[in-house]
Chain A
Amino acid sequence: MFWDNLDLLISGLATGATYALVATGFTLLWQTSSTVNFAQGDFVTLPAFAIIALHAAGLPLPLAMLGGLVAALIVLGAGFKLALVDPMLRHGMLPLAIAAIALGVAVQEGSKAVFGAEAFAFPGVPGGFDLGPLFINWQDMVTIAAAVVAVIALQLFLSRTRTGRCMQATAQNPSVAQILGIPVRRMIMLTFLLNAALVTLAAILISPTTLVKFDNGSSIGLAAFCAAIIGGFNQVRGAIAGGLLLGVVENFAATYGPDQYRAAVPMVLLIGFILFRPQGLLGRATERAV
């Protein structure tokens, strides 16, 4: 019993780690440019498809992953910001959020038209090892390790480098940051590029388990939104804690709860948090401005 639960905990942490990456990117976009990116889940599917296509075209896997990253930086990072966010943000948050929903629909339907409705296998790390009575998948270990390294690197970048601190200043108060001479526009662009890198990493880590399908983005997106809110919405650490918690709870609920309601777990957790701890796991209670 104990070992079964430990097993569930480890695979839950692995899923949760990828949620945390997606949720972190989501939170960064929200902080620096009030973009509620409803297409964030589909942003994970796109690099996965790109990598599969490049790999199928004959590129070795590492190169294909690099190609997927470059494509994501160009399309989901710079392209998304320049073509959609910049012109729309002056109309307020709402039109941009709706446009992001439409973008999600376009991405899903577009990838269905190109790749069809079947699920594609994605190369991962096969096998595992025995640890006492426990069998541990290499894939889970690699996922957790890669996510931890990425998160630590991100935290170090944000708190120790000059650019990272400028980004934090931009996130906290863009106008004051501007007055202090921080190149706010460049910092915002950097956030979008960072988000593109994070979703690409998440795609590489989660796709061997979930396979790659055109509508995967819906559930990943919902999980990432919930993780961000559970964590406190306004901070990167919160998004990570929320992602891990959600991944674990989801895994336990799927084993011990009714299987048909697996998709409802993030929702129930979300409503519970909004009711009893609206500031999130790590957030501080803030006064409503309005």
Chain B
Amino acid sequence: MMARASAGGLVAAVLLVVLAGALGFALQPYGIYLLSLWAVYTIAAIGLNLTLGFAGQMSLAQAAFVGIGAYCTALLDARGIPFPATLAIAVLLTFGVGWCVGYPALRVQGHYLAFVTLGLTTLVYLVMRNETWLTGGIGGVSNIARPWPFAHNLAYLHLCLAALLAVAAAMWWMLRSPWGRAFVALRENPVRAMSLGVDVRRYTLLAFAIGAALGGIAGAFYAPLVQYIEPSPFALGFSINLLMMVVIGGAGYFLGPFLGALVAVLLPEWLRFLQDEYLIIYAVAVILLLLFCPTGLLGLAERALARGRARGTAKAAAPVAAP
């Protein structure tokens, strides 16, 4: 399997972001909001993709990390701390929490991380809901300011997209560095990677903690976007949703999170007439996709492309083979 962080991937990501930025000029405020949300979701999903797609670990805590980042930004903003500083603190905090949670779980067996992160999401949600003195409880935190000069919707969209671009570029660079190749190696064949001197546990833990920090970045941009946060968006349901985004796009594909987040943002809008039945159909669709193509939409596209190419070469070869 290829590293899946080719130059084409980065170019496509840049094109997507520029297109979204240009589209913002033509859209109503709600459309601009959806695009900004897409950028934020994509950042969180890129982080989860590192954990799931490259390190091969299932995390159900990404919503908790987004929540920690969002609350961190909102609460520090209320105390007058400027946005760049709150962003940095959110990143450090989520990285630290990710490291502390991942360390004991990864010490044991692979699938333990799934359970520990499932529990973490529950725990973080309970703290957000119950510790009213800190988080405002179910009342949440309101009047979160956007950093100057990005107060306007369109300007804030462009800020989110710039952040997405920076995250994507950093991830692309990381995946191509020897460091990132170690990630791929340990996903493809952990035993062999280990025999070649890759410290599997440390790399897995690092992947998880970096993924958590990207969740924190997403949260830091989410809070000023919606300007009002409360606990319920950061419950287990959102963790599952983020996991689905990664899987739908294609776990382990550089562009997977971009596509998966797009589906997760747009599909509920298009299928609004389904109302309560939407989630059933979404879940069943994900199961069917996993059944028939566990590598997601990009895997499906790659397969179709490969088949087309194979047919092309077969045709080209046919006259030679014919008597």
Contacts and interface: CB of A to CB of B under 8 A. Distances in A.
B169 interface: no
Contact of A103 (B56, B111, B114, B287): B287
29 contacts: A36-B114, A84-B291, A88-B291, A91-B294, A95-B290, A98-B58, A102-B286, A103-B283, A105-B279, A106-B280, A106-B283, A106-B284, A106-B287, A222-B118, A222-B119, A225-B118, A229-B115, A233-B109, A261-B130, A264-B122, A267-B119, A267-B122, A270-B119, A271-B116, A274-B107, A278-B107, A288-B109, A290-B190, A290-B191
A19 B286 CA distance: 29
A101 interface: yes
B243 interface: yes
A218 interface: yes
Interface in B252-299: 276-277, 279-280, 282-284, 286-287, 290-291, 294
Interface residues of A, number: 43
Interface stretch (A54-62, A108-116, A159-167): A108-116
Interface in A85-102: 87-88, 91, 93-95, 97-99, 101-102
B287 A102 contact: yes
Contacts of A268: 123
A103 B280 CA distance: 9
A221 to B, nearest CB: 9
B123 A264 contact: yes
A275 interface: yes
Nearest to A261: B126
Contact of B52 (A94, A101, A109, A229): A94
Nearest to B243: A98
B287 A97 contact: no
Given A98-B58, A222-B122, A288-B109, A110 B290 contact: no
A165 B104 CA distance: 35
Contacts of B23: none
A246 interface: no
A38 B58 CA distance: 12
B220 interface: no
Interface centre among B130, B236, B283, B291 (most CB of A within 10 A): B283
Nearest to B118: A222
The A interface is mostly helix, strand or loop, or mixed, namely helix
A233 B110 CA distance: 13
A274 B112 contact: yes
B58 A94 contact: yes
B58 A267 contact: no
B141 interface: no
B239 to A, nearest CB: 9
A109 B105 contact: no
A60 B58 CA distance: 44
Interface of A: 36, 38, 84, 87-88, 91, 93-95, 97-99, 101-103, 105-106, 109-110, 112-113, 218, 222, 225-226, 229, 233, 258, 260-261, 263-264, 266-268, 270-271, 274-275, 278, 288-290
A110 B284 CA distance: 10
A143 B60 CA distance: 33
Contacts of A271: 104, 116, 119
Contacts of A105: 240, 279, 282-283
How many chain B residues sit at the interface, stated as a range, is: 35 or more
Interface of B: 52, 56, 58, 60, 104-105, 107-112, 114-116, 118-120, 122-123, 126, 129-130, 190-191, 194, 200, 236, 240, 243-244, 247, 251, 276-277, 279-280, 282-284, 286-287, 290-291, 294
A222 B60 CA distance: 13
A112 B276 contact: yes
A101 B122 contact: no
A112 B280 CA distance: 10
A38 B118 CA distance: 11
B58 to A, nearest CB: 6
A273 to B, nearest CB: 10
A268 B115 CA distance: 12
A274 B279 CA distance: 34
Given A113-B280, A267-B122, A88 B112 contact: no
B58 A110 contact: no
- 7 smallest CB-CB distances across A and B, nearest first, come from A267-B119, A106-B283, A95-B294, A105-B283, A260-B130, A278-B108, A91-B294
Contacts of B294: 88, 91, 95
B287 to A, nearest CB: 5
Contacts of B56: 94
A248 B108 CA distance: 26
Contacts of A270: 115-116, 119
